[in-house]
Amino acid sequence: MYEFPKKLKSLKYHENQSFALHKNLILLHNKSRIRRLITDLQILFKERVGIPLDATAIRDSYLKKKYFDKYLILLCAELEKEKELEKIIDKYENTQLKSGAYEIEVTKEFTLLKAIDFKGFEKGVNTLKIILEQTFSNYFKENEFEKYIQIPSLSILDEI
């Protein structure tokens, strides 16, 4: 469905429901140094659909120190999902990320981006931008405005 400028190491689409983009979503992140990249996603979202997408830091009480120290994390979901963040990360902890690599998981409840370094996180944000741009373009081309804008459930793993 999505087209990327280069072949990704792994891209899998899942049969379950899509992730609906709506005004109650928030971007949660765990490091202030990735905030600039998150701002790019907020601007894209606002330009294309006219809705601001708030971003806030993940509370320490919702993320184990080992995950806070190990990963750069972005979670797009309703604010209540922040309380489940450790369970979400636990579920996707089996992937060993290398320097410059990132993982994206899109489910019906959230979109998760994680990387172990800034280079991987930046590449992951760029991939999310491509997904959002193509999703918005398809939505407006199809003129089905009674539906939410949706991203199909998928898993991406990419590295240098």
CATH number for the domain running over 10-158:
3.30.379.10
The pLDDT confidence band at residue 50, using thresholds 50, 70 and 90, is confident
**How confident is the model over 52-76, as a mean pLDDT?**
92
Rounded mean pLDDT of 25-41? 93
Cα–Cα distances in Å, from 29 out to 52, 62, 90, 115, 120? Answer: 17, 12, 17, 12, 15
Task: Single out the residue of 145, 18, 24, 137 nearest to residue 76, CA to CA.
Answer: 24
Reported confidence tier of residue 49, pLDDT bands at 50, 70, 90: confident
Q: How many CA atoms lie within 13 A of 9 on its CB side?
A: 14
pLDDT tens-digit map of 92-147: 888 789 999 999 999 999 999 999 999 999 999 999 999 999 999 998 888 776 67
- CA–CA distance from 86 to each of 58, 68, 75, 156 (Å)? 11, 10, 12, 20
10 has which bridge partners? 157
Per-domain residue ranges for the chain? 10-158
- Which pLDDT score, from 0 to 100, does residue 152 have? 95
End-to-end CA distance of the chain: give it in Å, rounded.
23
- Give me the amino acid identity at 122: E
- Residue appearing with tokens 């972005």: 74
Predicted confidence band of residue 60 (pLDDT cuts 50, 70, 90): confident
The predicted pLDDT at position 75 comes to 97
Element spanning 10, H or E:
strand 10-13
Q: Residue 77 has what pLDDT?
A: 97
With a pLDDT cut of 70, the percent of the chain lying above it is 99
